[in-house]
Amino acid sequence: MSEPWQRDPDRPAVTERSFAALCRSSPWLWDTLRFSLHWVPGPQDRAAQPVRAWLRRPSDLRVETLHGARLYTSTSLERSRDDFYVADTPRSWLLHPALVTPVYDDDALVTRRPEAAYGDPVFGGGRWQAILDPVELVGPAPVPPYLPEQRPAALRSLTAGAFARRRVWCATVEPTVRYRPTTPGHPLAPGPTRIAVDVATGVCVHSHVLEGPYAGQGHRLVVEAVDEYQLDDLFTREAFDLTDVSRHVPWPVGGSVSPPAAQPPKRRCRRA
pLDDT at 71: 93
pLDDT at 45: 74
**H-helix segments, 164-261:** none
For residue 19, which phi and psi values (nearest 5 degrees)?
Answer: -65, -45
Task: Return d(Cα 205, Cα 220) in angstroms, integer.
Answer: 6
Identity of the residue numbered 117: A
The set of residues, in sequence order, having a beta carbon less than 8 Å from that of 242 and lying 6+ positions away, is: 231, 232, 233
When pLDDT is averaged across residues 239-245 and rounded to a whole number, the result is 58
When pLDDT is averaged across residues 16-44 and rounded to a whole number, the result is 94
Closest among 6, 98, 3 to 56, alpha carbons compared: 98
Contact 35, 53 (CB under 8 A): yes
Q: Which of 150 and 272 is assigned the larger pLDDT?
A: 150
Tell me which DSSP letter residue 172 carries.
Answer: E
Average pLDDT, the chain: 85
Contact 24, 138 (CB under 8 A): yes
Lowest mean pLDDT among 24-28, 135-139, 230-234: 230-234
Q: Indicate if the pLDDT at residue 47 is higher than 70.
A: yes
Lowest mean pLDDT among 32-36, 49-53, 194-198, 250-254: 250-254
pLDDT at 82: 45
52-66 pLDDT, tens digit per residue, is 999 999 999 999 999
Q: Which of 267 and 48 is assigned the larger pLDDT?
A: 48
Q: Indicate if the pLDDT at residue 265 is higher than 90.
A: no
When pLDDT is averaged across residues 121-134 and rounded to a whole number, the result is 92
Q: Name 226's bridge partners.
A: 33
CA distances from 233 to 46, 60, 77, 133, 244 (A): 33, 11, 10, 26, 10
The set of residues, in sequence order, having a beta carbon less than 8 Å from that of 88 and lying 6+ positions away, is: none
Task: Return d(Cα 226, Cα 224) in angstroms, integer.
Answer: 7
Q: Which of 3 and 160 is assigned the larger pLDDT?
A: 160
When pLDDT is averaged across residues 26-33 and rounded to a whole number, the result is 97
78-115 pLDDT, tens digit per residue, is 554 444 444 445 556 789 999 999 999 999 999 999 99
Task: Return d(Cα 250, Cα 6) in angstroms, integer.
Answer: 42
Identity of the residue numbered 247: R
Q: Indicate if the pLDDT at residue 10 is higher than 70.
A: no
174-223 pLDDT, tens digit per residue, is 999 999 999 999 999 999 999 999 999 999 999 999 999 999 999 999 99
How does residue 260 score in pLDDT terms, banded at 50, 70 and 90? Answer: low
pLDDT at 78: 55
* pTM score of the predicted model: 0.80
